[in-house]
Amino acid sequence: MWHEARRQERKIRGMLVDYRRRAERRRDFYEKIKADPTQFLQVHGRQCKIHLDPSIAAAADSASAMMPWQGQADNLIDRFDVRAHLDYIPPVKKEDDEELTFEERQINYERYRIIAQNSFLGINEEKFLKQLHLEEQFGYTESKSKKDQRSGGTSIGFNYEDNTAQTLGPDYHNDNDSEGNSDSDLDVDLSINVSKMDSTQAHEMNRHGRNFGMSSNDFYSFLTNDLEEAESFRLAKEEEHEKALFSGRKSRRERRAHREKRLANRVISPPSYAARTSPTYPSFRKSKSPSKSPSPENAGKITYITSFGDEEESPSTSKSNEKKSKSRRRNESSERVVYISKRRSYSKEKSHRRRKSRSRSKTRRRSYSRDRYRKSRSRSKGRSRYRRRHSSTSSSVSSSSSSSSSSPSKSRSSSPRYRKMSPPSTRSASPVKSKSRSPLKHESPPKVIPRYYGRKKSDQSSSELSDSSVKDVDMKVANSPVNSEKWSGYGNSGIVTKKTGQNLSIQERLKRKRQALLNKQFKADKIAEQLKTEREKQEQQHREDELREMAIKLRRRQREKRHAYDSNKSSSSSDSESSKSKSPPPTVENKPKSPSPHVTKRDDYRERESRRFERRDGSRERREHSRERRNSRSPRRCSEKRTVYRDRRERRREDYERDRDYRRDSYDRERDRDRREERSGRSLVDY
Amino acid sequence: MFRNTFQAGFLSIFYSLGSKPLQLWSEHTGESGDIKKVVDEDIDSCVYEIVDSKNIAVTYISCPADPNKTLGLKLPFLTMIIKNVEGYFSFEIQILDNKNIVRRFRASNFQTATRVNPSICTMPLRLDAGWNLIQFNLSDLTKKSYGTNFTETLRVQIHANCRLRRIVFSEKFYSEDEFPADFRLYHPVTVATDA
């Protein structure tokens, strides 16, 4: 059994090895015969049968085979002749050969290079053809013998075979052949080593080439070109081969290493914008670059965001600011899509700054209730819709026109947003800051990457735009917020049309108008939202106040009740029962009035807890307090009491009373809490 | 020339038995070249002989005769009946492909490797001894060498060192036996009867 299994295993292993070997052999074979598919393009003539059959001859010579062309009896044509289609054959005027074009010369080189070479080498036509025939019939025996000869070191211009190549000196002869066998498919026809030729030989060769439709030194130069091409081809092939070695899934690492190695010693050309400064507008760049430079710095200048984080503001404005910053960030992202290459660096910087400011504001406002976030989320949805619309328009811009031509509209669409970014409150709050920063932008080196593409016009307009926007920002410090908003809505587009209006197409103008409308709409939305949030906040504030009032009222009432109970107690113990039973109704009364406590539920609970502890600690105090109050309220009775109980007994009684009071208090509290919880649960459901 | 004509079946552009076989052709002869009508001993019939012992590049016939004109033949199969006279021989066919690029196919008997350039594809040509039938599909050739489609033949050029009997374009491939009698090679009746 075991032996049987072993035998089977061995058999299988043997088969595996066999298959592997066979596959290798097959691959080697195919590798050997592998050739460029174009090499199979050959024309072969077949020997033609010469019919001796008289019937065929009779048919061919019959009168029907030939016919006169256009009724001309002296011009007999074949029945299939194309001339039958022609009514008239124009006489051809002899033209003198004009100068050969480069292409024609190259074609001639391709046509006749072998016979030109043969003529140069002085190879006999018949012998050459015979050799070719022999080679094709019997393989390349001749080259092998040649190689043997060469290895022998002596070169004798004699061969047993009728070798045409040997008629010339070995110095001319193909040294390619030695290596040529390895890459034999490169250029079999060429038997000259061009690289080892001196000038006289080259000259001689060119002279031969001139007989074959090539001029001056064409032959030599084309040959060298060919050689170079062959060399590059060989290199490419080698590389391909190397790559093929690392085929398969396992050798991914090797492939990668190979690639990296290749990339490592590659000379990396500098990126296009760095490598080439547009030669067309040097004067323009020189003159415009200082004015251009502010634009990124201006963008950087929108740092009022950072400033508002540090300042103490009213919660309402800060909140709106935060929202604004959010929306701005969203805009920013869309802008980034638009500005793919143009201002990436600065936009990045800006976004970074914005992020910082955002986080700060967040930490500052952690205590905000959750529903605000919910609101903001819904807002974001709306904004995103807007953004989508915007981005779609921008993409259409980029697709419809070249990047350079679309750049003005882009910059225009973006700049109003920058303006919008400045929240009115901060603007009014920190005018000094923004002003102090403004000189900085003039000093800064031009960050704008010179675009080598792009029209001059558009460039100019964009730069001027940025410039104008700078001015606008400066002006806005003085301006009222409403005014500035208006500015951003219309003024900018007006500027743009002024600058580039002449060469703008209707389409672009329409686009611009749409953009302006969008901006307006966007602004209106924003204002509405702001108002809404304001209102909501106020409402909330109001509610909170109400709640506080209510709580105070409740506490007071309870205290009063307690006091009443206490006083009752002092007069009669039977009353306490009734007061206990009576106590629930007022709280029940309170229930419907309770203001949305589900948000502050936890806080309430904590408060209650703390209150309870407080109460426990300060119950004694309160007792005293209440007594005092009681005293103040009814000094007569108090005095009576004083007069009545002045001894130790009274003291003891007081102690007892306190104890009992405390117990009842806790009981009350517990009940109260239960009720409250119940209430909160109810209210949660209600909401 | 024939772009706007109806082309079907066979279209012969050369037949050595006509009155003026080279009416559509232009003759170019070098110093040592010669183009003449001879009687071939194998078939006892008139054929055209193009010979040049030195430079085949300058001795050739070309159709159409006017260098500025083109044939415009849309038939893709080319058949030539040519005699191998043991010398350099070459012919060239200029075609237009569907990308409107002019391509040239040149077959030469002194070549061993095919080279494909954008404007010219040079191929080796091998002929048997004696009379040969050369047939090839231009459409196929264009596809294989340039990856484009054959549209029409513009020019046919036959260089030196051959004897020429017939050049014909056909719609489809015909084997030798399918050709009409006058497309084949035959001994004249008189010779046959004498033999």
A363–chain B Cβ distance below 8 A for any pair: no
Of A43, A78, A188, the CB nearest to B113: A188
Q: How much is the pLDDT for A306?
A: 58
**pLDDT tens-place string over residues A356-405:** 444 444 444 444 444 444 444 444 444 444 444 444 444 444 443 333 33
Percent of chain A with pLDDT over 90: 10
**With a CB-CB cutoff of 8 Å, which residues 23-82 of chain A face chain B?**
36-54, 56-61, 65-66, 74-82
Lowest mean pLDDT among A547-551, A594-598, A630-634: A594-598
Hey, which residues 78-97 in chain B have their CB within 8 Å of chain A?
A: 81-82, 84, 86-88, 90, 92
Neighbours of A182 (CB within 10 A): 9
Which residue type sits at A588?
Answer: V
Chain A contact set for B12 (CB, 8 A): 78, 80-82
Q: How far is B120 from chain A (nearest CA, A)?
A: 7
Dihedrals phi, psi of A198, to nearest 5 degrees: -90, 180
Residue of A nearest to B114 (CA): A39
Find the residue in B nearest to A43 (Cα): B125
CB A43 to CB B73 under 8 A? Answer: no
CA nearest A79 in B: which residue?
B12
Sign of the dihedral defined by the CA atoms of residues A440, A444, A449, A455, in that order: positive
Judge contact between A472 and A492, C-beta under 8 A: yes
Residue where the block lists tokens 């004897």: B163
Q: Six-digit token pair at A632?
A: 């103040």
Largest CA distance in chain A: 170
- Backbone torsions φ then ψ of A305, nearest 5 degrees: -65, -45
Rg (CA), chain A: 51
Interchain CB distance below 8 Å, B109 and A129: yes
Q: Which residues, including other chains, have CB under 8 Å from residue A427's CB and lie 6 or more apart?
A: A304, A434, A476, A477, A481, A484
DSSP labels, A242-264: HHHHT-SSTTHHHHHHHHHHHHH
Local structure of A412: helix, strand or coil:
helix
Asked if B82 and B98 touch (Cβ cutoff 8 Å), the reply is no
Residues A657, A619 contacting (CB under 8 angstroms): no
Q: Report whether B90 contacts B106 (CB < 8 A).
A: yes
Tell whether A212 is within 8 A of chain B (Cβ).
yes
Strands B162-170 and B45-52: antiparallel
> Closest approach of chain B CAs to the CA of A111, in angstroms?
7
Q: B175 with B110: CB under 8 angstroms?
A: no
> Across all residues in chain B, what is the average pLDDT?
87
Shortest alpha-carbon distance between residue A38 and chain B (Å): 6
How far is B37 from chain A, CA to nearest CA, in Å?
16
Chain A residues near residue B192 by CB distance under 8 angstroms:
52-54, 57
CB contact under 8 A, A45 and B126: yes
**Interface probe, candidates B2, B19, B171, chain A, greatest A C-beta count within 10 A:** B19
Asked whether B33 and B147 are in contact (CB, 8 A), the reply is: no
> Reduced to 3 DSSP states, what percent helix, strand and coil does chain A have, rounded to the nearest 5?
75, 5, 20
B168:A80 CB<8 A:
yes
pTM: 0.48
Distance from CA of B187 to the nearest CA of A (A): 5
Cα atoms in the Cβ-side hemisphere of radius 13 Å centred on A666: 9
CB-nearest to A48 from B17, B126, B132 is B132
A112 exposure class (CB count in 10 Å sphere: 0-12, 13-18, 19+): buried
Instruction: Transcribe A7-19 into DSSP letters.
Output: HHHHHHHHHHHHH
CB contact under 8 A, B184 and A189: no
Cβ pair B13:A108 closer than 8 A: no
At residue A550 the predicted structure's pLDDT band, cuts being 50, 70 and 90, is very high
Average pLDDT over residues A510-534: 92
Instruction: Give B-chain residues touching A128 at CB under 8 angstroms.
Output: 110
Beta-bridge partners for B82:
B132, B164
Instruction: Residue A212: list chain B partners with CB under 8 A.
Output: 55, 57
Name which of B9, B73, B110 is nearest A114 (Cβ-Cβ).
Answer: B110
CB contact under 8 A, A108 and B57: yes
Tens-digit pLDDT profile for residues A627-649 = 555 555 544 554 444 544 455 66
CB contact under 8 A, B182 and A213: no
Q: How confident is the model at residue A613 (pLDDT cuts 50, 70, 90)?
A: low
Interchain pair A92, B120: CB under 8 A: no
Q: Considering only the beta carbons, identify the residue of A50, A65, A107 that sits closest to B131.
A: A50
Domains and CATH numbers, chain B: 12-172 (2.60.120)
ipTM of the complex: 0.87
* B2 reaches A (C-beta below 8 A): yes
Overall average pLDDT of the A541-551 stretch: 92
User: Which of B52, B93, B103, B110 to mutate to probe the A interface, most A CBs <10 Å?
Assistant: B110
Q: pLDDT (tens digit, 9 = 90+) per residue, A125-159?
A: 888 888 888 887 776 554 444 444 444 444 444 44
Predicted confidence (pLDDT) per residue in A422-434, tens digit: 444 444 444 444 4
A97 touches chain B (CB under 8 A): no
CA separation for the pair A105, B119 (Å, rounded): 12
State the pairing for strand pair B10-15/B26-28: unpaired
pLDDT at A472 over 60: no
Cβ distance of A90 and B122 shorter than 8 Å: no
Q: Measured between CB atoms, which of A36, A76, A92 is closest to B66?
A: A92
What are the chain A neighbours of B135 within 8 Å (beta carbons)?
46
Amino acid identity, position B155? R
Summarize pLDDT for A238-286 with one digit per residue, the tens.
888 877 777 777 777 877 887 888 787 777 776 666 665 555 554 544 4
Q: What is the pLDDT of residues A293-303, one digit of tens each?
A: 444 445 445 55
Please judge whether A213 and B23 are an interchain contact, meaning their C-beta atoms are less than 8 angstroms apart: no
pLDDT of residue A133: 82
Does residue A185 sit at the B interface (CB-CB below 8 Å)?
yes
Mutate to test the interface with B, among A36, A38, A40, A43 (most CBs of B within 10 A): A43
Residues 96-135 of B with CB under 8 A from A: 104, 106-117, 119-135
pLDDT reported for residue A661: 64
Q: What gap in Å lies between CA A512 and CA A518, rounded to an integer?
A: 10
CB contact set of A133 (below 8 Å; sequence gap of 6+):
none
How far CA A558 is from CA of A480, A544, A555, A588, B150, in Å, comes to 54, 21, 5, 13, 106
Residue appearing with tokens 């307690």: A562
Dihedral angle sign, alpha carbons of residues A92, A97, A100, A104: positive
For residue B6, CA distances in Å to A79, A217, A278, B62, B78 come to 15, 47, 56, 23, 17
Residue A217 CB partners (closer than 8 Å, separation 6+): A202, A203, A206
Nearest to A330 by CA among A378, A386, A409, A412: A386
- pLDDT, mean over chain A: 62
A134 touches chain B (CB under 8 A): no
Classify residue A485 as exposed, middle or buried by CB count within 10 Å of its CB (0-12, 13-18, 19+).
buried
Report the interhelical angle of A102-121 vs A199-209 (nearest 10°): 110
Residue A12 reports pLDDT greater than 90 = yes
Of A66, A125, A185, Cβ closest to residue B87: A125
Q: How confident is the model over A158-201, as pLDDT tens digits?
A: 444 444 443 343 334 443 333 333 344 445 666 667 667 778 88
* Nearest Cα to Cα of residue A170 among A125, A121, A134, A205: A121
Is A304 in contact with A484 (CB distance < 8 Å)? no
* Three-state DSSP state, A326: helix
Q: Which residue of A has its CA nearest to B134?
A: A45
Mean pLDDT score, B86-110: 91
- The residue in chain B having the minimum alpha-carbon distance to the alpha carbon of residue A36 is B114
Q: How many helices (H) and strands (E) does chain A have?
A: 28, 4
Contacts B144 to A, Cβ<8 Å: 37-38, 40-41
Q: CB contact, 8 Å: A90 with chain B? A: yes
pLDDT confidence band for A663 (50 / 70 / 90): low
Chain A residue at shortest CA distance from B58:
A212
The residues with which B28 forms a beta bridge, in sequence order, are: B60
Please report the pLDDT score of residue A402 as a whole number.
37
Which one of B4, B12, B13 would you mutate to disrupt binding with A, by most A Cβ within 10 Å of its Cβ?
B12
8 A C-beta contact, residue A125 and residue A156: no
pLDDT of residue A141: 54
Residues A67-71: what's their mean pLDDT?
77
User: DSSP label at A449?
Assistant: P
pLDDT attached to residue A667:
64
Measure in Å the smallest separation between the Cα of A187 and chain B Cα atoms. 7
Q: What is the 3-state secondary structure (H, E, C) of B57-81?
A: CCCEEEECCCCCCCCCECCCEEEEE
Q: In sequence order, which ranges of A94-217 are alpha helices (DSSP H)?
A: 102-121, 125-138, 141-152, 176-180, 199-209
